[in-house]
Every structure is written in C-alpha cells, then in structure tokens.
Homo-oligomer: A and B are copies of this chain.
C-alpha cells in the first residue's frame, strides 16, 4: 500500500492578525511547515502551532522565508549574498528549534517559503545557500524540495536527506516547473479535480502538465494550502479520495 505525506504551511498569522485556519488544517495534514517570524508568525504563534502539532502527532518543519513581513515573503529580496541567505535560514531554523524544544517537540524538516523557494527553484546560488544554511545547523534535517527543481541538486550536493514535493492545487509547465501564479489557471480550485489529479500523480509517479505532457517525478509529499478559500474543504475531499484509492497518509520517513 502506498503511503503519502500531506504537508501544509501553518503559523502564518502575525500578532492579532489571523491567517488561515490552523486548527482545521492540522487535522488534515501529516506534516506542517511553520513560519519563523520574518515573513509571518511570531514566537507565540510558533509555540501555539508547535503545541497543536505535538498534540496531533504531526511532524514539524521550519518554513524560512525572506525578511519581508509586509510582503509576506512573497516578493523576492534581490541582491542577497549566499552567506546572507545561509544566515537567514539558520536564524529561522534555530528560533523554531528552541520553541520546539521548549514545547517538547522536535523540528524534523525545512521547506523554503514563498519567494525564497520560487527564486531558489531557478537560481543555483539561492538553492545552494538554503541547503548550506540547513546543513550548517543540522545535517539530519530533512530538506523538502520541489520535485524537478534546482533545489534537488542543491540538496544532493549538501548531502541532506530530502523529500520531493508536488503541489495539489498548482498547474505544471512542460518542463516540470510550476505555472506562475500570474498566469490564468495557475491555481486549481475544484476539490474533486484536485483530488483526482493527486491520486493519479501518486498512482503513476507522474504529473500531467498544462499541455497534457506526462512528467515522471519522485513524489514523497503533497503540499496542501491552508490560506486559500475552500482550503479546508479541498483537503477533506482529498483525504477521502486518497482513502478510497487505498493510499495511506502519514508523515514522511527520513529519506536520502
């Protein structure tokens, strides 16, 4: 029986401002990526999110982004040097590790957020700097990489354990990259369509591009979004579809 991890970005509120529905999403995910205070989240929200994850038996990872609160880490910060990206990543991982230790839980993975991830998928310097920042803190941290992106090579070079990720609700180009959010059809919204697509991806080990091209991919985890309209409903339908297809969900195992 196939087993898949469902990962979700959580802890993206800030001070009194709420984003997403963390309580509902944590019931549906098997691992969560927690914002670390530079593009979203703060020490209290991190702690609350870690507590939620611990209570639910869900794996936690750091979700480092650019230092860009106002832009929610969705805008590239141009001109950073590799060492600056490494420091940025290390800082955020460490902050979450300490909060997790205080809560009696443990950070097991790292996934880059927003623009930091998008830039790294196409820019080797950024991809390697992220991988090096993770490795410099703890070489046993699992690096969650977008399947088929430059993050894969960066993780391999740093010799980090990796899990390969696909997006449940995003369209893919023929080269296996994500369709830019600025293009129409980049994000899928229909719960049934998303669910069928994910089940097929997992059964076939392939992703269908916007032109219908089938792209082989290693798939260890599926990203489900928590901050879009209907997110909770989509995740519920997906969980049911996976169960119907006899695909179990569980936190990813450490992988090479």
Q: Give the interface segment out of A90-98, A193-201, A216-224, A231-239.
A: A90-98
Residue of A42, A69, A75, A87 with highest tally of chain B CB at under 10 A: A87
Residue of A67, A87, A93, A102 with highest tally of chain B CB at under 10 A: A102
Q: Which residue of B lies closest to A76 (CB)?
A: B78
Interface size class of A (residues with CB under 8 A): 35 or more
| A94 cross-chain contacts in B, Cβ below 8 A | 94-99, 101
Interface residues of A in 1-28 (CB under 8 A from B): 13-19
> A185 near B: Cβ within 8 Å?
no
Interface residues of A in 57-108 (CB under 8 A from B): 67, 69-72, 74-79, 83-84, 86-88, 90-99, 101-102
> A43 near B: Cβ within 8 Å?
yes
Across the A-B interface, the 4 shortest Cβ-Cβ residue pairs: A94-B98, A17-B17, A102-B136, A43-B87
Verify B79–A77 contact, CB threshold 8 A: no
> A47 near B: Cβ within 8 Å?
yes
Complex: A76 Cα to B66 Cα, angstroms: 14
Among B14, B74, B93, B138, which residue has its beta carbon within 8 angstroms of that of A70? B14
Interface residues of A in 26-54 (CB under 8 A from B): 37, 42-44, 46-47
Known A-B contacts A17-B14, A70-B67; A101 and B44 likewise in contact (beta carbons under 8 Å): no
| A76 cross-chain contacts in B, Cβ below 8 A | 78
Complex: A16 Cα to B47 Cα, angstroms: 22
Verify B98–A47 contact, CB threshold 8 A: no
Complex: A13 Cα to B74 Cα, angstroms: 17
Closest CB of chain B to A224's CB: distance in Å?
Answer: 19
Q: Which residue of B lies closest to A91 (CB)?
A: B43
Verify B136–A15 contact, CB threshold 8 A: no
| A136 cross-chain contacts in B, Cβ below 8 A | 101-102
Known A-B contacts A93-B98, A98-B91; A75 and B72 likewise in contact (beta carbons under 8 Å): no
| A138 cross-chain contacts in B, Cβ below 8 A | 101
> A245 near B: Cβ within 8 Å?
no
Verify A42–B70 contact, CB threshold 8 A: yes
Known A-B contacts A87-B99, A96-B94; A16 and B15 likewise in contact (beta carbons under 8 Å): no
> A137 near B: Cβ within 8 Å?
yes
Verify A47–B17 contact, CB threshold 8 A: no
Verify B137–A98 contact, CB threshold 8 A: yes
